[in-house]
Amino acid sequence: MIDTNVVPESNTPKPDDPSLGEIVDTVKAYAKQETVGPLKGAGRWLGFGAAAALLLGVGLVFVLVGLLRLLQTEWDRSASGSLSWLAYLIVLAVAIAILAVTVSRIKKSTLNNEPK
């Protein structure tokens, strides 16, 4: 005997089911959001970092030249004679010390942190 109470399933999509085109559009939008957004952020980060490095470098050169001029004018023995190279050596030592402190402050763990 055939059960007459069984309703055949309809193959028509329900209004809640997204179509294949909507799924593809959603995946494309998600891919753009997850790639383009972080790339823009990385570009902004690199731009500000490069500008800051350039400005800090120029400022450091001015400070070191100022220190050299200070040593040459205020320290009589380094301005003339056989010890004139000593002012340059002192400025070089200061520059190397600043570079060493700067490099020691760079930590790999802070380069990959996500903002909270």
Q: Is 87 exposed, middle or buried (0-12, 13-18, 19+ CB in 10 A)?
A: buried
Cα distance between residue 116 and residue 113, in whole Å: 9
What are the tens digits of pLDDT across the range 30-65? 888 888 877 877 888 889 989 999 999 999 999 999
Q: Indicate the pTM of the whole model.
A: 0.60
Which candidate, 80, 78, 81, 100, places its Cα nearest to that of 90?
78
Calpha distance 98→75 (Å, rounded): 22
